[in-house]
Structure 1
């Protein structure tokens, strides 16, 4: 066992015995002749006393020596011991949020029973919602992105340095051909476009990297934009000297948080290389300055930058907060099976945490008036390749409105599956100054809810389920009000 664990367990047991004896640290110090600061460090797991000191503590506290040094814990401390003995503290990305492992250990040491109850509660919630380690990692990563406004200057600079070193012209569209040449000539890659398609079980993967032979297997049906992004991401792993990485795209599973974090770094680098910041800003300036909404703009941009709609929308979540001060935004990605009534959020980002359209794990029906869902319904009806919508979504519950852009395409890797990506910008004074076409009468406004079960909108033709949760909440409020009336009457 790790020395750190042994020290911490001894400290927890000493504190537990002292507390049962109703002794303060000062009292134990006076009883044993050991300094209060020394005893405090023992209880916090920072120091382990020598044999003579343990014998002294056991004698004065009237407990057997063997019980004090044993690693066996009673029922109150056993769950905390299991937690500390597990790898969970090492797996948590504490440093990402400025938290030291020692800080967390201090919290555990100060209130082990309460911490145990809290952790048990979290575990129960996780089990109830099938929330595993990977889900936790992704949630932690999303919080990190939101805390940084999803903009990382160091990676932006690395892209500029790379482009200069390899003479990539960021004033024009980057192609897969020039990136493939760098992978082969500079990093010794072998590109294989044949073998991945021979395994039917892998038809949802775009690429697999085999590090031993530096072979990159790419699905033969990826389009130019997807291939360019795959190559850009592989370059990122090499140029940024990332060793702890994922080897499939899309990912199958994560082994540790470093892989999750590095996947974000490589993806961000790839997006910034394919859609350069300054070039995008030039196009955005012209787009936002138009008095009328140009519906063809986003579709033209994906072709101009050799990028998928998702890459473009993701890149907007980097640039709009950093360069246009439009920080109140959210990003949603949906998946939809043809012929079904399911619409599942597969990715989301909320830069200010206040936004209404959050995903849920309770199988509630998302509001069918959302642009992200309407584009999926439209592309399913039309059978087209790409459908784009813009709308203003007004949430009566919050009295907030958002300008929404959403695009839907067929999923090239899954039969009869469509996906949509959408970005929502809070309508406030800042947005009104930046977006000249905001008052374009062609942009329709929709009253929307979050899910049908929680939606207060009356006579909604798109409603898929009754507002059962809202009705229950109202019933509870009326019950509470009636109870208060009775209390007042008979007081």
Structure 2
């Protein structure tokens, strides 16, 4: 187990405290037997100090254990989960300060109640194993939490993007396209930009871009099947890495190379920067105000906005998640991305983000997502269109979704389109806005009777709408829950009668 200095101190302190408690010794008694002060032993147990050899010998003798046993980094079975946590390097690679956690306080918490904390960590590890959660998935979850904590709005990156634009005298109306951003990479940062395709680089199939660092100038390989809008974003992200001086980075859009949380965080920052220089916040806010003031739901206006900014639906929706909380007070929203092979009835949620709370819908393991969601309906509609004609257009559909058994209502907008780099694969990106009183006032067209309204649920397995024509599975979880509720009522009744 490879441990850094801080973790070695912590392991020693945990072992010392556990041995002391196993021997039935108080801090005062161990102090008397070893000749070391109570405060010094307390600091050792909290992982703040690592004693010298003579003091380790005194502690070992006082507790009647071998020197080697005490200095070994192997923890007892009860503390194995903490050992796994420390050896995984999660504590060192995850910048806890970003989440408002002082690492010293966390280590102190581990040392104060090691057995209880170990049991808790063991439970989390077991859950992660049951769901086949990798370290990379853990980092993605941590990044998503970081975004949600800040309402996915980062003023420092917004200001950096505006400085970049001001330095180049780019006025508000000018939209940065593929050509402009490529020129910046070549002329200001010395990049060489080349195309990649299945023939020249078959091993990079499906990869959007790959940056190969070179002393004489970085080499950027870009997938030849990308649209102009997608290329612009790839170039913008590369500029983000350089302008923000992000050194520890991913070199490709394939996240399989991610080795640390910092790499994912820097990739997010560079991507945020790209969205901010392509879709300027002042211009977007101005256009959104006009859109929300409409009396009727007009999806073509949103598609026109996407075309105006020369961007993709995904970048546009992500940019919405940046500005809606800060500039419109719309803080309860979610973002989803689904993928689906044309003609198949299987849908995979490949990205999600929730602001303010964990909204429905969200990722559920081994269940069938509600087929009434507009995110899935738009993919099904796109697949039907593709049967009769080749379409390169983007579908934009809206729906007011009312969740069964709750008072929750969302206005949901979904964009569906084919993936340029992968045959027969379609994706939908979806923005959902929770409809509270403030949001209903901010968006005037919500009363438009032409907007589709549907009752929806999380999954078929949890749904009580037995006459649903779109149902894909029996309501097994609902039935189990009701059976358990009936059992609890019967037990309570029997106990009350007695």
Q: What TM-score bracket applies, with the shorter chain setting the length? A: over 0.9
Report the Cα distance in structure 2 between the residues aligned to 1:30 and 1:406, rounded to whole angstroms.
70
Report the Cα distance in structure 2 between the residues aligned to 1:252 and 1:60, rounded to whole angstroms.
51
Q: Please say if 1:369 is aligned against 2:377.
A: no
- Equivalent positions of 1:13-28 (< 5 A) are 13-28=15-30
SS of match in other structure, 1:108: helix
Q: Please say if 1:382 is aligned against 2:416.
A: no
Task: Name 2:176's counterpart in structure 1.
Answer: 174
Aligned pairs, number: 489
- Equivalent positions of 1:109-258 (< 5 A) are 109-193=111-195, 198-212=200-214, 213-258=217-262
* Alpha carbons of structure 1 residues 475 and 99: separation in structure 2 relative to 1, 3 Å: same
Report the Cα distance in structure 2 between the residues aligned to 1:197 and 1:285, rounded to whole angstroms.
47
Structure 2, unaligned runs of 5 or more: none
Q: Please say if 1:407 is aligned against 2:415.
A: yes
**Preserved contact between residue 227 and residue 420 of structure 2 (Cα < 8 Å):** no
Q: CA deviation at 1:457?
A: 2.1
Report the Cα distance in structure 2 between the residues aligned to 1:357 and 1:233, rounded to whole angstroms.
29
Task: Name 1:477's counterpart in structure 2.
Answer: 485
* Alpha carbons of structure 1 residues 6 and 372: separation in structure 2 relative to 1, 3 Å: closer
**Preserved contact between residue 361 and residue 458 of structure 2 (Cα < 8 Å):** yes
Report the Cα distance in structure 2 between the residues aligned to 1:21 and 1:249, rounded to whole angstroms.
55
Q: CA deviation at 1:425?
A: 0.8
Q: Please say if 1:273 is aligned against 2:277.
A: yes
Q: Per-residue CA shift, 1:93-144, capped at 9, x if unaligned? A: 3222122333332222223333332222222222221110111111100000
Report the Cα distance in structure 2 between the residues aligned to 1:140 and 1:2, rounded to whole angstroms.
22
Which 10-residue stretch deviates more, 243-252 or 73-82? 73-82
Task: Name 1:442's counterpart in structure 2.
Answer: 450
**Preserved contact between residue 196 and residue 217 of structure 1 (Cα < 8 Å):** no
Q: Please say if 1:463 is aligned against 2:467.
A: no
Task: Name 1:350's counterpart in structure 2.
Answer: 354
Structure 1, unaligned runs of 5 or more: none
Q: Per-residue CA shift, 1:6-25, capped at 9, x if unaligned? A: 43333223212221232222
Report the Cα distance in structure 1 between the residues aligned to 2:206 and 2:225, rounded to whole angstroms.
11
Q: CA deviation at 1:196?
A: 6.5
Q: Per-residue CA shift, 1:306-344, capped at 9, x if unaligned? A: 001111111111111110000011111110111211111
Task: Name 1:341's counterpart in structure 2.
Answer: 345
**Preserved contact between residue 333 and residue 348 of structure 1 (Cα < 8 Å):** yes
Report the Cα distance in structure 2 between the residues aligned to 1:147 and 1:279, rounded to whole angstroms.
25
SS of match in other structure, 1:341: coil
Which 10-residue stretch deviates more, 424-433 or 117-126? 117-126
Alignment counterpart, residue 301 of structure 1, candidates 266, 287, 305: 305
SS of match in other structure, 2:257: coil
SS of match in other structure, 1:406: strand
- Equivalent positions of 1:415-430 (< 5 A) are 415-430=423-438
Q: Please say if 1:106 is aligned against 2:103.
A: no
**Preserved contact between residue 197 and residue 219 of structure 1 (Cα < 8 Å):** no
Normalising by structure 1, we get a TM-score of 0.94
| CA RMSD of superposed structures (Å) | 1.9
Report the Cα distance in structure 2 between the residues aligned to 1:471 and 1:400, rounded to whole angstroms.
22
Which 10-residue stretch deviates more, 141-150 or 104-113? 104-113
Report the Cα distance in structure 1 between the residues aligned to 2:141 and 2:87, rounded to whole angstroms.
24
SS of match in other structure, 1:279: helix
SS of match in other structure, 2:146: helix
Q: Per-residue CA shift, 1:405-443, capped at 9, x if unaligned? A: 111001111111111011111111111211111101111
Alignment counterpart, residue 44 of structure 2, candidates 32, 42, 50: 42
Normalising by structure 2, we get a TM-score of 0.93
**Preserved contact between residue 34 and residue 58 of structure 2 (Cα < 8 Å):** yes
**Preserved contact between residue 134 and residue 253 of structure 1 (Cα < 8 Å):** no
Q: CA deviation at 1:75?
A: 3.4
SS of match in other structure, 1:293: coil
Q: CA deviation at 1:229?
A: 0.8
Q: Per-residue CA shift, 1:278-325, capped at 9, x if unaligned? A: 111111111111111112111111110000111111111111111000
* Alpha carbons of structure 1 residues 3 and 401: separation in structure 2 relative to 1, 3 Å: closer
Which 10-residue stretch deviates more, 205-214 or 180-189? 205-214
**Preserved contact between residue 197 and residue 220 of structure 1 (Cα < 8 Å):** no
**Preserved contact between residue 94 and residue 262 of structure 2 (Cα < 8 Å):** no
**Preserved contact between residue 244 and residue 259 of structure 1 (Cα < 8 Å):** yes
Report the Cα distance in structure 1 between the residues aligned to 2:432 and 2:394, rounded to whole angstroms.
19
* Alpha carbons of structure 1 residues 173 and 139: separation in structure 2 relative to 1, 3 Å: same
* Alpha carbons of structure 1 residues 223 and 57: separation in structure 2 relative to 1, 3 Å: closer
SS of match in other structure, 1:420: strand
Which 10-residue stretch deviates more, 116-125 or 455-464? 116-125
Report the Cα distance in structure 1 between the residues aligned to 2:85 and 2:466, rounded to whole angstroms.
49
* Alpha carbons of structure 1 residues 203 and 78: separation in structure 2 relative to 1, 3 Å: closer
